[in-house]
């Protein structure tokens, strides 16, 4: 059976676009996993404490937070007072459960591992302003920085850093500073967020939220999209040839 779209009063151009859109949407649906994962800690119970934490297939582990009497852990805090930078209600910070109850705990380094090979990441961070109030030894020196480094199969592939002095004033009377760190355009399977002094027991106050990681599209998704585009191109060529024959 031969199907002629002209006999059905269907606009060939619109028909081609519709087929292309259906193909692209279908190809995205064929991927077995979403292309973006977001850890905003809102699905976790406020007050959660542990040596690691996982949300939306993103795992936070290997915490280093200075020399302490007890081992610091990942802490999920609620009653978020840091909008609009952080999404409500929860965010991630660090400390010793039931001992350290400040909104922002001390941090040196952690690993962030996505569920699959990825190509971009962004995260929001908040710290105390080192020039606010009294200066204590736990506050960073003026040249301290926060580093986000990407790894693929154990090798460093990209890095970005922000000086604490370049963080933006978050308000609240100048008490807090904020920043967003991001990397894109590289394949990675692991990330590390750290301050260079972390490996000499250095720490800064830090809170983290809205960690967004985009995965590399799966081969099936890429194939489906390419097939849809190729079909649309071929259909257009056949339609042009048909129109030429009719006009000749």
Strands (E), the chain: 36-39, 49-50, 53-55, 58-64, 73-77, 91-95, 105-107, 109-113, 118-128, 145-152, 155-163, 168-171, 176-188, 190-194, 204-215
User: What pLDDT, on a 0 to 100 scale, did the predictor assign at position 224?
Assistant: 47
Range of the domain at 180: 36-219
Of 70-79, 132-141, 159-168, least confident by mean pLDDT is 132-141
Which DSSP helix (H) or strand (E) runs through 235? Answer: helix 219-247
> Of the segments 5-14, 95-104, 135-144, 204-213, which one has the largest average pLDDT value?
204-213
Q: Is residue 140 part of a domain?
A: yes
**Could you give the CA distance from residue 4 to residue 43 in angstroms, rounded to a whole number?**
52
User: What pLDDT, on a 0 to 100 scale, did the predictor assign at position 13?
Assistant: 54
Q: Is residue 6 part of a domain?
A: no
pLDDT band at 246 (very low <50, low <70, confident <90, very high): low
Average pLDDT (148-174) is 93
Q: Is residue 214 part of a domain?
A: yes
The number of folded domains in the chain is 1
Q: Is residue 58 part of a domain?
A: yes
Q: Is residue 180 part of a domain?
A: yes
Q: Is residue 186 part of a domain?
A: yes
The per-residue pLDDT for range 94-144, each reduced to its tens digit, is 999 888 778 999 999 999 999 999 999 999 999 998 877 654 445 555 678
Q: What is the CATH number of the domain that holds 72?
A: 2.60.120
Task: Give the pTM.
Answer: 0.74
Q: Is residue 127 part of a domain?
A: yes
Whether residue 53 is predicted with pLDDT greater than 60 in this model: the reply is yes
The per-residue pLDDT for range 169-186, each reduced to its tens digit, is 987 678 899 999 999 999
Q: Is residue 112 part of a domain?
A: yes
Structure tokens at 244: 């030429």
Average pLDDT (84-101) is 90
């Amino acid at each position: 059976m031969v199907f002629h779209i002209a006999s059905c009063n269907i606009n060939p151009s619109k028909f081609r676009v519709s087929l292309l859109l259906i193909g692209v949407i279908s190809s995205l649906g064929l991927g077995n996993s979403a292309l973006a994962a977001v850890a905003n800690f809102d699905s976790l119970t406020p007050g959660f404490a542990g040596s690691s934490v996982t949300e939306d297939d993103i795992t936070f582990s290997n915490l280093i937070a200075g020399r302490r009497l007890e081992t610091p852990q990942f802490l999920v805090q609620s009653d978020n007072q840091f909008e609009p930078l952080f999404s409500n209600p929860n965010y991630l910070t660090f400390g010793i459960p039931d001992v350290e109850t400040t909104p922002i705990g001390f941090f040196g380094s952690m690993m962030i591992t996505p569920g699959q090979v990825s190509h971009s990441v962004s995260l929001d961070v908040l710290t105390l302003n080192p020039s606010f109030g009294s200066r204590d030894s736990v506050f960073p020196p003026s040249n301290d920085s926060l580093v986000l480094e990407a790894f693929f199969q154990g090798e460093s592939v990209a890095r970005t850093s922000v000086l604490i002095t370049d963080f933006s004033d978050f308000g609240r009377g100048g008490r807090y500073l904020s920043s967003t760190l991001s990397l894109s355009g590289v394949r990675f399977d692991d990330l590390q967020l750290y301050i260079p002094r972390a490996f000499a027991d250095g720490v800064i106050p830090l809170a983290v939220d809205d960690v967004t990681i985009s995965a590399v599209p799966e081969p099936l998704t890429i194939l489906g999209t390419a097939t849809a585009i190729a079909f649309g191109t071929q259909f257009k060529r056949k339609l042009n040839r048909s129109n030429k024959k009719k006009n000749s």
